[in-house]
Amino acid sequence: MLTRDLTTPALLVDADVLDANLAAMAAALPGDRLRPHVKAHKCSALAARQAAAGHRGFTCATIREAEGMAAAGLGGDLLVANEVVDARRLGRLVEAGHRVTLAVDSPATVVAAAAGGVREVLVDVNIGLPRCGVPAEEAGRLADEARAAGLDVRGVMGYEGHAVLLEDRRQRIEEVKKCVALLAAAARDVGGEVISGGGTGTYDLNTVATEIQAGSYALMDTAYAKLGLPFGQALTVLATVISVNLGGGWAVADCGLKALGMDHGNPALADGSSVWFCSDEHLVFSPPEGAALPAVGDVVQVVPAHVDPTVAYHEHLHVVRGDEVVDRWDVDLRGW
């Protein structure tokens, strides 16, 4: 099959760029130094490629992701890096022989983990991102409560999500220093062998973590591309031009808000065209200066600004070399 035979919008993954990204990260963070985050691609077939690169443990954001990874034979060491108030589905995975560790940041989530049948936890520490996590100075107390509830506390986790996309590397370095200082202090109080954290934008800066939870590096997006990281753009959305306004100088492709993660801004076009705006099912753009408008029926490749939600909108990843579709992977970890 060729890409022109696909129904658009369709996700394309450049096989060679993906291979290069996986190899680059495996060289930088070999083996257990990386715990890939599957929320970025929600695809067990891609996760299997990461496992083949030497990464045996995985990070999940949802119970559904953990279930799908276990069903795919990738449940040897799963971290659900998120709080849940009903852990019974995770407990069933544990009973089936899969290793599942759950993040906790309150007495209520400790109780939920124990009641649901989860046996291992990480204390989630707030290291600057105003989201989940116990204050660093309270991490030891929560660890004591977890152990009293019969749980094995493997260590701590914290996510410097407010720092991972800072474009100024010096600013990113300074912010990460503050974050990891909090994480290290919490780790001393909590104990355990695991310090988990980081992301694609800080994979080489978080020197405290024993494992990095990067995920976007495999496919990439325009937000991370601004940071000058050693990972190429593997993911694009193939779209078809459905309307052209010759007088106004713009064209419209069939790839809008319902096909793209837009929380990081407008997407880009691979050919350098200027994106004007997106609506539900439309992307309006103009060609680069001096270039002709495309014709109705032409295809364009759209580069998303945020890979994670973009992939979650689609059912399949089409793996390509040039114009040839060489494989199709289900986005099988979608939903909750």
pLDDT, tens digit (0-9, with 9 covering 90-100), for 86-99: 999 999 999 999 99
Question: Do 150 and 299 sit in the same domain of this protein?
Answer: no
Question: In a 10 Å sphere around its CB, with 0-12 CB exposed, 13-18 middle and 19+ buried, how is residue 27 labelled?
Answer: exposed
Q: Which of 190, 219, 248 is the last residue of a domain?
A: 219
Mean pLDDT rounded to a whole number for the chain = 98
Taking CA atoms, 195 is separated from 107, 123, 183, 274, in Å, by 21, 10, 8, 43
Q: Confirm whether 191 is domain-assigned.
A: yes
pLDDT, tens digit (0-9, with 9 covering 90-100), for 264-279: 999 999 999 999 999 9
Q: Confirm whether 335 is domain-assigned.
A: no
What is the per-residue pLDDT for 32? Answer: 97
What is the per-residue pLDDT for 190? Answer: 98
Question: Do 64 and 99 sit in the same domain of this protein?
Answer: yes
What is the per-residue pLDDT for 183? Answer: 98
Question: Do 117 and 54 sit in the same domain of this protein?
Answer: yes
What is the per-residue pLDDT for 275? Answer: 98
What is the per-residue pLDDT for 294? Answer: 97
Q: Which residues are CB-contacts of 121 (< 8 A; sequence separation ≥ 6)?
A: 101, 102, 103, 104, 110, 113, 146, 151, 152, 153, 154
What is the per-residue pLDDT for 159? Answer: 98
Terminus-to-terminus CA distance in the chain, angstroms? 32
Return the CATH number at 250: 2.40.37.20
Q: Confirm whether 119 is domain-assigned.
A: yes
Number of domains the chain is built from:
2
Q: Confirm whether 227 is domain-assigned.
A: no
Q: Specify the pairing of strand 100-104 against strand 134-135.
A: unpaired
Q: Confirm whether 32 is domain-assigned.
A: yes
Q: Which of 161, 186, 219 is the last residue of a domain?
A: 219
Question: Do 245 and 145 sit in the same domain of this protein?
Answer: no
**What is the span of the domain harbouring residue 292?**
3-10+232-330
What is the per-residue pLDDT for 91? Answer: 98
Question: Do 77 and 188 sit in the same domain of this protein?
Answer: yes
Q: Confirm whether 177 is domain-assigned.
A: yes
pLDDT band of 14, cuts 50, 70, 90:
very high
Question: Do 117 and 203 sit in the same domain of this protein?
Answer: yes
DSSP conformation letters of 32-67: GGB--BGGGT--HHHHHHHHHTT---EEESSHHHHH
Q: Confirm whether 48 is domain-assigned.
A: yes
Cα 227 to chain centroid, rounded: 16
Return the CATH number at 144: 3.20.20.10
Q: Confirm whether 53 is domain-assigned.
A: yes
Question: Do 210 and 304 sit in the same domain of this protein?
Answer: no
What is the per-residue pLDDT for 251? Answer: 98
Question: Do 266 and 209 sit in the same domain of this protein?
Answer: no
pLDDT, tens digit (0-9, with 9 covering 90-100), for 125-142: 999 999 999 999 999 999
DSSP 8-state code for residue 292: P
Count of helices and strands (H, E) across the chain: 9, 17
Q: How far apart are CA 250 and CA 247, in angstroms?
A: 8
pLDDT, tens digit (0-9, with 9 covering 90-100), for 187-244: 999 999 999 999 999 999 999 999 999 999 999 999 999 999 999 999 999 999 999 9
Question: Do 243 and 203 sit in the same domain of this protein?
Answer: no
Q: Which of 219, 252, 275 is the last residue of a domain?
A: 219
What is the per-residue pLDDT for 52? Answer: 98
pLDDT, tens digit (0-9, with 9 covering 90-100), for 28-71: 999 999 999 999 999 999 999 999 999 999 999 999 999 999 99
Question: Do 238 and 200 sit in the same domain of this protein?
Answer: no
Question: Do 172 and 240 sit in the same domain of this protein?
Answer: no
Q: How far apart are CA 315 and CA 333, in angstroms?
A: 10
Is the sign of the CA dihedral 124, 28, 215, 86 positive or negative?
negative
Question: Do 212 and 288 sit in the same domain of this protein?
Answer: no
What is the per-residue pLDDT for 212? Answer: 98
Q: How many CA atoms lie within 13 A of 265 on its CB side?
A: 7
What is the per-residue pLDDT for 128? Answer: 97
